[in-house]
Amino acid sequence: MLAELLPEQAFSLLLIFVRLGAALMLMPGFGESYISPRVRLLLALTITVVVQPVLPEMPRLPDSAMALFMLIFGEAFIGFFLGSMGRLMMSALSIGGMMIATVTGLANAMTNDPTAAQQGSIAGSFLTMLALMIIIVLDLHHVLLRGVIESYHIFVPGEPILVGDFSQMIARVVSKAFLLGFQLASPFIAVALIFNLGLGLLSRLMPQLQVFFIAIPLQIVIGLGILMIALPALLAWFITGFEEVALPLAGLR
């Protein structure tokens, strides 16, 4: 009955659209909240029509509604998994930005983070926007899209989902994102440690001196100075870590 209502060609396009659409919902550069949902939907449909002839043959339409639901659920799950890889790596900037804001006295200066669609530290929002611009300039968002297309040779539609491998991959990417965020903030943490040790020594030598009156503005100035000097290196280090996750997904490493 279902085969009479839905042609095989349309069903093949539907399966491809489910995986691609789910990935584009989370993928950096494509799934940002400030991009119109209609634009993202049209983009997903366009890519689906373009890549459908070069993809492996899709499974035939199941006879039962439950089998159809499980097949579509599996494709959506794989799409969400692939899209979340890039999004988890972008979270390293939010982690590192919050650490930077904490040690530089800017933790209370919260601003809207358009990529996360929530409030975030001003340093994290700044780094995230710059990194997203560099990702688009370097065409790394195309690498992520290629990873979704290449996934059809690894995660064949209709086969059982490798839940154990997925969980291990997510755990590795999350741990790498935390490590990368700490590495981005490490220059600020080191300078803040030395700065606070100096303030403690100064307060012991001159108890009458108002240390916090001097320390807070000086802490902000030093933090902005370090950010101005280390910004190119921080972004280059993040892009290197981002490529270590994106390139293997696309089969380029």
pLDDT digits (tens, 9 = 90+) for 209-238: 777 777 778 888 888 888 888 889 999 999
pLDDT of residue 116: 62
Q: What is the band of 153 on the pLDDT scale with cuts at 50, 70, 90? A: confident
Residue 105 CA to residue 140 CA, distance in Å, equals 33
What is residue 121's three-state secondary structure?
strand
The pLDDT value given to residue 208: 74
Under the banding of pLDDT at 50, 70 and 90, the label for residue 157 is confident
Are the beta carbons of 30 and 112 closer than 8 angstroms? no
Mean pLDDT of 5-21: 80
Per-chain mean pLDDT for the chain: 82
d(CA 74, CA 83): 14
Could you read off the pLDDT of 112-121 as tens digits, one per residue? 666 666 677 7
Torsional sign, CA 217, 219, 224, 225: positive
Residue numbers of the domain that contains 67: 2-249
Instruction: Give the closest residue to 186 by CA, choosing from 132, 220, 233.
Output: 233
What is the rounded distance in angstroms from the CA atom of residue 9 to the CA atom of residue 23? 22
Q: What is the pLDDT of residue 252?
A: 59
Residue 76 has pLDDT above 60, yes or no: yes
Provide the number of structural domains found in the chain. Answer: 1
Q: Are 100 and 219 in contact (CB under 8 A)?
A: no
- CA nearest neighbour of 54 among 82, 80, 16, 83: 16
Per-residue CA distances from 166 to 147, 153, 252 (Å): 15, 16, 20
Residue 130 near residue 107 (C-beta atoms within 8 A): no
- Give how far the C-alpha of residue 18 lies from the chain's centroid of Cα atoms, to the nearest Å: 20
Kindly state the average pLDDT of the residues 67-83: 87
pTM of the predicted model, to two decimals?
Answer: 0.82
Instruction: State yes or no: pLDDT of 134 exceeds 80.
Output: yes
Cα 213 from Cα 231, distance rounded (Å): 28
Terminal Cα distance for the chain, rounded: 45
